[in-house]
Structure 1
């Protein structure tokens, strides 16, 4: 990215439009004091608006629940004030320096108690003096101008200055000029303007927005209009769609750290930061008017709505943060909801109405961690906004949008059927298997190996409640993995665990999808071809060409549910629920449920537990199965039957204090398989009767091909034919001239759609032939270079290589209804 000079910052920030002459050096001409005075009122207004937007407003402090929460904030702030004991290595005795997180956070809590009404300390000069003294003490001992940046750069450039500056701005009337000037000097040292001159390194995406927030706070602290202009102008590179790497991509993917889909962490920070900046700066000389800012408003529907389900954020876009704490997915969902409502204040009326209905739907359906009470505990401003729409009968609660969202740029897919949702996480030459860093997510190795998350009604906590610290990391649902043991933090840190695979993605018409992954195992010789066909009530899962030379078994994990529910196979109870009284449960076959013993450790047999977790109370089985059903969750169908391995176990985390029950179903391909395969159906939310019926209906699904060249299915009742062409070829009446994904859907009226995609992003031209009589093309596509109709349909597309794996649909009219063959 070209350098962004200070002069262009100042002009773009609105100062030139205000009639201020900018010299070649970037400094305002004339008297500096006069220049600053011109904008003093505007900057004072910004400080007031900052308090309203970030600390909280829009509620009656005398009404509940605000009265109680504000009083509690005051009590906490008073405790921090009274327990402070400044010394060379601390501000509080229980938080020795550097205390990058806790000490600045406590100072900000005290400042908010000063700024907010109803705390009992509102406007208290003594409290403000304590905050000022604490800021200066921390600045002298830790955040000192010239001090070396030890540890993570983020603390020095974003985390610490953001909180210190926020606190300083909130108590600004009581902040001595010397303290203010010294803090500004420290910030200028660690966050110089040159960090915003180029869009690269750590100054991209969400980090860039946070750096701009720091710069704006610095401007408000010292009434510096030039810094405010820099902060606003430096946002411009964030807005346009990214062609690669960090930022928003056209399909809704948000990337941070170059290779990690991150809507659920960095993306939340970016959305929240921009929503705040839009709100604070609206109507000021620095209002954000960049035309490309519409990308941010569009991201609510394209990037964030797909990855929030019933109020929680899907873990597959949360990077290394998935294991930080239980119910973190609900926390992130709530943060997205808060950012969306705040952003709505700067959006059009239509956008605001849609977003309010969406958020109200999330809040209505999140019964696991109810959103309104949780907001009351964490964010009073958000609580006020949310309570307003929850009480407004004119705002409907929008339902979950059915259909499919394929984010090929991030190797992610989200599918919603009636009462259920599924998410798919893959890896490619563009997207890493997983991210680890700062000691986090050290065993997320296989989350990119085709992990298939799914939720039926009432299972909003499936991956929330201690799942990540207790699950077997070698048996994540949906994955195909080599059981070769991996060290903690295998592969490069910060997400660069990419594979050689280019064919990762698929085709979707918005309702159905065929998705595929050419899988290469992480630090193993495993190679496989995996496909998922997403339908109304089922996901058809195929695997082929499964090959490895690691000297250990390879497994495909049909599922691994955190549950104590009972499991039946072909109508027989195989794994009964564990009894509450500790006795052995009845089991049709397999090992008994037993209490933990001192030697009950992972041994590398059927229990492949990871170091740092323990597994006990195991009941194992193996069966030739046609179908299986997990009570209260859903069903599984194995067309033609397969040898299904089953395990019930109770797994503890590394501390041994947290344990959860699991039921695991898997297919064992044996050591060093050569071109092994599998086929099964996942039926989320299905009853045992429905599962048995689907298994007994051989005409519902036809698996036309399942090889390393093509994988395809036909579902006559839905009029669907879908094929992932790993190589060009022909099957099920479809022919493709090169590697691609093709999804055909016919309806009873004779209309049909043909959807194609180039997941490899390498085709200059693609010809797809459908062996079906077609009367004509109803709707073409800009990339459709030619169409032949009649006895068969021949479509030729050009330029697919430049489409980032996007799907392209052509609508035609056949000469006979779906199901009829000419």
Structure 2
């Protein structure tokens, strides 16, 4: 922790609590439940590991007698007591209201009881009766559901990750005695054999691999097994390697799981949290792990998608519609993982991360992080918030383009925009387990944006109530699709390879060769991310579905007044739009998921089965009515140099920018390219990329001079900057 820590109200553990956290009591190494007849010489290595696991669970020193810990811990204690008192072991259940297999609820309840045993302030800390109840419950569930040799029917995840992770956590925290502990170890060994951590493929990659390593380490801690502890650590190695395809971290900061889905806000959080815990527990042990790659990815992969404490939905996969304010929940989980990871990181990273998280916490007024009832996270965050030596980092300004996951984030003072695309390697959307069945068009160029005061725009029941055919920024065929259209788990990649763009870190040109999901619709879409606007172009919009094709200029969850003029529109409290062509608007009240929300929609109708239709409009986030009018009356602000299926290019005199997406070789406005590419010319620099990643050479001509760009596609669609001086 950087700066001078504030020790006000810090709880200094008693010797008794330290012994309990270490799992060392008069009864033996596994805690108060080990009978004297089973006492054995403790393995100090695993005593320390169990102590560290419990310290990670409990969080840094805090006084459980002060608020808010007193209330939270007392509530945990009451919940655990109720669960203990209502436990009624039967052949088909452990609690009458949760019939077996109860893969999630029953193990989770046992873990809750174990947490109450391990944490002071619950009124049940170190209570032998509660520990005995946990032991009896774990063993009952193990015998009736999770028995070695049982048929692992259903989702593999329950048997290899979900159930063993919860049961082992409960066992380590409560100190499972030897006979049931050994039986649980046998069951875990059956469902999660060491070979599961052999090949890095299938369902043993990225976040799943980290979860499997957590299971293996907990199994090692419960059984004091050096071999399994070593395996848990060594099997992490592939997670730290950058990948060029499939699951994992990419050089540009992308993180992908399920082969086709950008997932920092789902599986990525799981990976980051698991690694943070593993690095903290293994620090100083014979199996200490270096986290260099994941340290780098905190700021390269996760931070770009956290806005004022919320994790953007375009990297949350099928989880976007699970519950209201899920984006803020995931932002908090990322913050918690970053703070825990900081305990293992070098001082420089830790200092930056503390400032980063402190800024997120200060700005998240919709779901304040300090109000979340997690004592461990609260204690870590409170220490950072109270530390006057830690500044609250502001929202950054600049552009981050992640071509390998078809995502872009543009930040300017007072507003932020983020773009979600689909490509030959990234699916239109992910559905699975009955979730996100109407997310069809989230990869069709959905343009999210937030101005000041809009931190809850996509959080508050947006997904259950929005029209799924009219997501902002998208171009879609209105052909009706069935729920869960396309293959599950993100395997909905269109054929288009030209998806990406060029950025100098401040501004960007981004493009998508779009093919509609289960549709004949095709379009060439470009976004030019500027200082106070996003200039959006579309061309070559063609379809043969027998229905209309639309481009959704915006669809805001609001009841605010909409004012329209000649070629412009303004939505009060939100922003403005300058549009070429007839703009259509509607206001409606939509109901879904038991809630109702107001929407204002602006769109362009390209007609039924269009042939090479196009569009051009400016999005002005947070802009006033007067500024919108002025911009509409200022045709020279941005000149469209070309808008065809071969080339889209613009010139913005006030910024000194000429930018183009070359779908084919061509030229416009003094800029030309010998092959498909993206080019951004500004000041004394030319920034070039090969979104298709297949060129061996490229010639770009600007202002009469030709520049040779060798192997522009060699670095995963990354931008290459040429200094014109």
Aligning the two structures, in what range does the TM-score lie when normalised by the shorter sequence? Answer: over 0.9
For residues 125-524 of structure 1, the aligned pairs below 5 Å read 125-172=128-175, 175-289=176-290, 293-374=291-372, 377=373, 379-524=374-519
- Aligned position for 2:699: 767
- Aligned position for 1:754: 686
CA displacement at 1:176 relative to structure 2: 2.5
Deviations 1:139-195 (A, max 9, x none): 1111111111122111110001000000000111xx221100110011001100111
Q: Distance in 1 between matches of 2:59 and 2:360?
A: 22
- Aligned position for 1:564: 559
Deviations 1:575-597 (A, max 9, x none): xxxxxxxxxxxxxxxxxxxxxxx
- Aligned position for 1:634: 575
SS of equivalent to 1:126: helix
- Aligned position for 2:612: 675
Q: Note the residue ranges of structure 2 that are not aligned, 5 or more in a row.
A: 1-39
SS of equivalent to 1:385: helix
**2:717 maps to 1:808:** no
Deviations 1:551-572 (A, max 9, x none): 00000000000111110001xx
Greater CA radius of gyration, 1 or 2?
1
Q: Distance in 1 between matches of 2:578 and 2:171?
A: 61
- Aligned position for 1:798: 710
- Aligned position for 2:122: 119
User: Once superposed, what is the RMSD of the aligned Cα atoms?
Assistant: 1.0
Q: Distance in 2 between matches of 1:467 and 1:355?
A: 30
CA displacement at 1:643 relative to structure 2: 0.9
- Aligned position for 2:25: none
For residues 648-797 of structure 1, the aligned pairs below 5 Å read 648-654=587-593, 657-746=594-683, 752-771=684-703, 792-797=704-709
Say which is worse superposed, 804-813 or 111-120, in terms of deviation: 804-813
For residues 36-47 of structure 1, the aligned pairs below 5 Å read 40-47=43-50
Q: Distance in 2 between matches of 1:507 and 1:808?
A: 8
User: Is contact 1:39-1:225 (8 Å) kept?
Assistant: no
Q: Distance in 2 between matches of 1:627 and 1:811?
A: 38
CA displacement at 1:256 relative to structure 2: 0.3
Deviations 1:609-659 (A, max 9, x none): xxxxxxxxxxxxxxxx41000000000011xx42111111111115xx211
Q: Distance in 1 between matches of 2:217 and 2:605?
A: 57
User: Is contact 2:407-2:420 (8 Å) kept?
Assistant: yes
SS of equivalent to 2:245: coil
Q: Distance in 2 between matches of 1:354 and 1:446?
A: 37
User: Is contact 1:432-1:448 (8 Å) kept?
Assistant: yes
Q: Distance in 2 between matches of 1:406 and 1:329?
A: 21
Q: Distance in 1 between matches of 2:554 and 2:154?
A: 40
Say which is worse superposed, 546-555 or 341-350, in terms of deviation: 341-350
User: Is contact 1:58-1:381 (8 Å) kept?
Assistant: no
Q: Distance in 2 between matches of 1:691 and 1:768?
A: 35
Deviations 1:748-778 (A, max 9, x none): xxxx11000000111000000002xxxxxxx
User: Is contact 2:646-2:663 (8 Å) kept?
Assistant: yes
- Aligned position for 2:68: 65
Q: Distance in 1 between matches of 2:61 and 2:659?
A: 52
User: Is contact 2:712-2:720 (8 Å) kept?
Assistant: no
Q: Distance in 1 between matches of 2:669 and 2:193?
A: 62
CA displacement at 1:811 relative to structure 2: 1.7
CA displacement at 1:801 relative to structure 2: 2.5
Deviations 1:209-255 (A, max 9, x none): 00000000000001001110010000001101011110000000000
User: Is contact 1:255-1:410 (8 Å) kept?
Assistant: yes
Say which is worse superposed, 414-423 or 798-807, in terms of deviation: 798-807
Out of 622, 646, 649, the position equivalent to 2:585 is 646
Q: Distance in 2 between matches of 1:348 and 1:309?
A: 25
SS of equivalent to 2:713: helix
CA displacement at 1:389 relative to structure 2: 1.1
Say which is worse superposed, 49-58 or 257-266, in terms of deviation: 49-58
User: Is contact 1:456-1:633 (8 Å) kept?
Assistant: yes
Q: Distance in 1 between matches of 2:292 and 2:51?
A: 26
- Aligned position for 1:103: 106
Q: Distance in 2 between matches of 1:211 and 1:800?
A: 38
- Aligned position for 1:526: 521
Q: Distance in 2 between matches of 1:255 and 1:806?
A: 17
Q: Distance in 1 between matches of 2:685 and 2:395?
A: 24
SS of equivalent to 1:106: helix
User: Is contact 1:56-1:116 (8 Å) kept?
Assistant: no
CA displacement at 1:793 relative to structure 2: 2.2
SS of equivalent to 2:94: strand
Q: Distance in 2 between matches of 1:437 and 1:38?
A: 49
Q: Distance in 1 between matches of 2:85 and 2:531?
A: 60
Q: Distance in 1 between matches of 2:420 and 2:152?
A: 36
User: Is contact 2:689-2:713 (8 Å) kept?
Assistant: no
Q: Distance in 1 between matches of 2:521 and 2:449?
A: 25
User: Is contact 2:651-2:659 (8 Å) kept?
Assistant: yes
Count of aligned pairs between the two proteins: 686
SS of equivalent to 1:643: coil
Following TM superposition, the consecutive aligned residue runs of length 4 or more in structure 1 with deviations greater than 3 angstroms are none
Q: Distance in 2 between matches of 1:769 and 1:468?
A: 45
CA displacement at 1:57 relative to structure 2: 3.5
Q: Distance in 2 between matches of 1:353 and 1:536?
A: 30
SS of equivalent to 2:581: strand
CA displacement at 1:39 relative to structure 2: 8.5
| TM superposition score normalised by structure 2 | 0.94
Q: Distance in 2 between matches of 1:807 and 1:431?
A: 19
CA displacement at 1:54 relative to structure 2: 1.9
User: Is contact 2:417-2:448 (8 Å) kept?
Assistant: yes
- Aligned position for 2:8: none
Q: Distance in 2 between matches of 1:274 and 1:373?
A: 25
User: Is contact 2:249-2:255 (8 Å) kept?
Assistant: yes
CA displacement at 1:365 relative to structure 2: 0.7
User: Is contact 2:59-2:380 (8 Å) kept?
Assistant: no
SS of equivalent to 1:714: strand
Q: Distance in 2 between matches of 1:794 and 1:286?
A: 55
Q: CA distance change for structure 1 residues 39 and 742 in 2, over 3 Å: closer, same or farther? A: farther
Q: Distance in 1 between matches of 2:163 and 2:525?
A: 45
User: Is contact 2:60-2:380 (8 Å) kept?
Assistant: no
**2:25 maps to 1:84:** no
User: Is contact 1:408-1:504 (8 Å) kept?
Assistant: yes
